[in-house]
Structure 1
Amino acid sequence: MSIRPPRPAHRFALASEVIAIEFGTLEYAVRGEGPPILMVHGTGGGFDQGLSFGAGLRRHGYQIIAPSRFGYLRSDYPAAPSSANQADAFVALLDHLGIDRLPVVGGSAGALSAVAFALRHPERCSLLILLVPAANVSGRDPVEMTALQKLLVERVLGSDFAYWSARTVAPKRLIGTLLATDPALLDRVEPGERACAYRILDEMLPVSARVRGVRNDARLASAPGALAYRDIAVPTLIVSVEDDRFGTAATARYLAATIRDARLVILPRGGHIWLGADDAVAEHIARFISEPGADAPPRSPQRARQR
C-alpha cells in the first residue's frame, strides 16, 4: 500500500472568501466579534496562519481579518508582488469590508507589507504592531542559510510529499530550521503551546500553494533598506524574542531606535514563533491597542531625523 500525504487544499474554499481586486484574486477570512484587526501572516502561511496567530487577540474580544498575501493559497501572484502593492491590496480588502481604519499586525516577513501599509496609507492604519519582524535593516539577510540548508529547504518546500515526509519523520528539525525555534523548548511548554508549534507546521501544507509567496518573501526580506522606517507616522509596537534564530531581536531593537516613539518588547525565549509566550504576546498587543489615544490621527512623518 502506498503512503500519500493528506490533501488539505479543499478546506480553504469553505474557510475563506475571495474578492477580485486590481492585482487579481485576494483571499481572506474573518473570525470573531469586536473591533477589527488586520493580521498579516508570515512566511509559509496564509489566512489560516493569520487566524492562528490572532487567536489570542480574539480571546481579548477582537475580530481578526486575515488575508493571504500574494502567492499564498488562493491569492494571485501579480507581475509586481512588492510590499507596496500588497499594502494597496489590503486597502482594497478594507474597502470591500467597509472598514475605514484599524490596527495592523504583521508577523515575520508579513511585517514588510504591514510597514508599507502604514507608510502608504497612514489614514487607514491606526496602529502598527510588528511581531518578530524579518527584514534586512543592517545589511544582514535575516534568513541567511548555508548552501546546504538552502538546498534542503528548497527540496522540502518544493514538494507537498517531501514536506509531509519531513513533517512526519523529523518535525523537530523543521521547527528548528523553518520556524527558527529551539526544539528543546517543546519539552518546557504547556501541551497546548506544544500543539500550536506542530499546527504551524501542519498549516504549511499544501506547500505547493504557498511556494511562490515563500520565495517572494525571501527576496523581499533579504533586500537591504527597502522601506523608509523613519517615516512611519503611526504609533508602533515591536515585539520580538531574544532566542529567535532569525535574529529578529536585533532587528526589533534597530527599528525601535529608528521609528519615532516606538515601543519595544523583547521576550527572553520562545524562538521565532514565540513558543510558550502566546498569551503574553496577545496581552502586550491588546494593552497597546486599548490605551487612551490609540486611535489618534497619524503624526507628521519626520523625514530628516538623525541618529
Structure 2
Amino acid sequence: MIRIGGFLLITLIAIMMATGVASLLYSNELSRLRATVSHGSLVAELDVGPVEYADSGAGIPLLSIHGAGGGFDQGLALAADLVGGGFRVIAPSRFGYLRTPVPQDPSAIAQADAHSALLSKLNVPKAVVVGVSAGARSAVELALRHPDKVAALILVVPALYSPTSPVSTDIGRGNKFAFWAVNAGGDFAWWAAETIAPSILIRFVGVRPALVAAAPQAEKDRIASFVKSVEPLSLRVAGLKIDSAPQSYELPLQEITAPTIIISARDDLFNTLPSAEFAASRIHGARLVVFDTGGHLLVGRVQAVRKAIRAFLAGAGLTPSG
C-alpha cells in the first residue's frame, strides 16, 4: 500500500480533480453508493423523531448498533461478520447517520431511549444487543435504562470511559488529513484517499496498515469493504461529529444485569482496551476477551470473535436457529 503524507495527498487530489477521468469515476461511484444506501432500510417514526433501520433475517432478535462512520448498512455487516447467522438483525442508523437526523438531544442516553422505542415499535420485547466502538455507549445506556429489553450485551472494541487511559487516536499527518476530510464532509477527499493511499484511511479506522498488508486476501477485502462503507461521507458526517467527543464520565456499570461479553485488542489504535478492561471489572460476571493483535477492526480475529460470541450466547441460553 502506498504511504503518502497529508500535504502530498491533498496535492494529488487537486490534480485528480482537474482531470475529467477522475471526475467521471468519482461521480459514477458516488451515484452508485448513494443508490446502495437508499435501499434496504425503513424509517420508524418515534417520539424522538424518525429513525432509519434495517430488519433482516429470522431467529433471536439482535440489535446491532454500529460505530462511528456507520449506519444501518454497517450494522448489518458487523452482525454478519462478528455474530453470524440465525438471528433477526435489527440495525438502526444512529443519530446523524444516513436517514436518521440529529435531534435536539443527540446524547448516548437519548440514543438508548430511541433503541428501546424502536424495539417496542417492532414488537420486540427483548433482544441481544451488540454495540461496536462508539455504538457501545448507547448499548450500555440501553442496558442501564431499559434492562428488560436486553437479553445479553456484547461490546466489541468499546469506546467507553476509562479512568486511566481514555479512548483516543494519534494525530499524525495522515490522520490530520482524514480528520480534515471528515470535518469538511468531503466525499471526494475520502474517495480519492481510498483510491490513492488507502493506508491513510486504514490507520484512521484504528488498524496498523502493516497488519492488513500481511493478512489473507479475505481479510484485506473485508477491511477495504469497511473503509468503503464510510462512503458517502457526507451522509454520515453529522453522526461522526457526535461520536468524535470521547465519553468523559463514568457510568454505574455495576447496575447492568444482562450477561455481558467484552472484546478488544491490545494494538487497537483507538486504545479501547483500557475501557474494555474497566467495563469488565465493573459489570458483574462480564467475560473479557482480549487479542494481542487485530486492531480496531479485529483483523484476522473474526472467526475467533464469532466463536467466542456464539459460545457466550449458548451459555446464556440464547442458541441461534440454524
Q: Normalised by the size of structure 1, how large is the TM-score?
A: 0.89
State the partner residue of 1:79.
104
AA paired with 2:310? A
State the partner residue of 1:160.
187
Deviations 1:250-271 (A, max 9, x none): 2211111111111100012110
User: Residue 126 of structure 1: which of 140, 144, 151 is its match?
Assistant: 151
User: Residue 217 of structure 1: which of 243, 264, 269 is its match?
Assistant: 243
Bigger shift: residues 11-20 or 36-45: 11-20
- Determine the C-alpha separation between the residues in 2 that align with 1:60 and 1:168: 32
Change in CA separation of 1:132 and 1:59 when aligned onto 2, cut-off 3 Å: closer
Deviations 1:195-236 (A, max 9, x none): 0100011010011111111111112xx132253222222111
AA paired with 1:132? V
State the partner residue of 2:312.
288
- Determine the C-alpha separation between the residues in 2 that align with 1:265 and 1:147: 29
Deviations 1:136-169 (A, max 9, x none): 3216441244386664233221200111111111
Deviations 1:261-299 (A, max 9, x none): 11100012110000111111111111111215569xxxx
User: Residue 202 of structure 1: which of 219, 228, 233 is its match?
Assistant: 228
SS for the counterpart of 1:15 is coil
Deviations 1:99-143 (A, max 9, x none): 100110100010000000000000111111100001232164412
The answer to whether the aligner puts 1:244 opposite 2:271 as a matched pair is no
- Residue 190 of structure 1 deviates from its aligned partner by 2.2
Contact conserved, 1:41 with 1:110, CA < 8 A, in 2? yes
Matches within 5 A, 1:44-123: 44-56=69-81, 59-123=84-148
Q: Normalised by the size of structure 2, how large is the TM-score?
A: 0.85
State the partner residue of 1:17.
42
Bigger shift: residues 252-261 or 65-74: 252-261
- Determine the C-alpha separation between the residues in 2 that align with 1:57 and 1:275: 12
State the partner residue of 1:303.
none
Contact conserved, 2:265 with 2:295, CA < 8 A, in 1? yes
SS for the counterpart of 1:9 is helix
The answer to whether the aligner puts 1:143 opposite 2:168 as a matched pair is yes
State the partner residue of 1:3.
22
Contact conserved, 1:94 with 1:100, CA < 8 A, in 2? yes
- Determine the C-alpha separation between the residues in 1 that align with 2:214 and 2:125: 42
Aligned residues: 292
Bigger shift: residues 49-58 or 146-155: 146-155
State the partner residue of 2:256.
232
AA paired with 2:144? L
Contact conserved, 2:174 with 2:200, CA < 8 A, in 1? no
Contact conserved, 2:169 with 2:269, CA < 8 A, in 1? no
- Determine the C-alpha separation between the residues in 1 that align with 2:215 and 2:177: 28
Q: Structure 1: any 5+ residue segments left out of the alignment?
A: 296-307
State the partner residue of 2:17.
none
- Determine the C-alpha separation between the residues in 1 that align with 2:304 and 2:136: 19
Change in CA separation of 1:31 and 1:190 when aligned onto 2, cut-off 3 Å: farther
- Determine the C-alpha separation between the residues in 2 that align with 1:58 and 1:271: 18
Deviations 1:54-102 (A, max 9, x none): 1136644222211110000111100110111101111121112111001
What RMSD over aligned residues (CA atoms) do the two structures have, in Å? Answer: 1.9
Q: What is the identity percentage for the equivalent residue pairs of Structure 1 and Structure 2?
A: 38
Change in CA separation of 1:105 and 1:58 when aligned onto 2, cut-off 3 Å: closer
Contact conserved, 1:23 with 1:76, CA < 8 A, in 2? no
Q: Structure 2: any 5+ residue segments left out of the alignment?
A: 1-19
State the partner residue of 2:205.
179
- Determine the C-alpha separation between the residues in 1 that align with 2:140 and 2:116: 13
The answer to whether the aligner puts 1:270 opposite 2:298 as a matched pair is no
- Determine the C-alpha separation between the residues in 2 that align with 1:57 and 1:186: 18
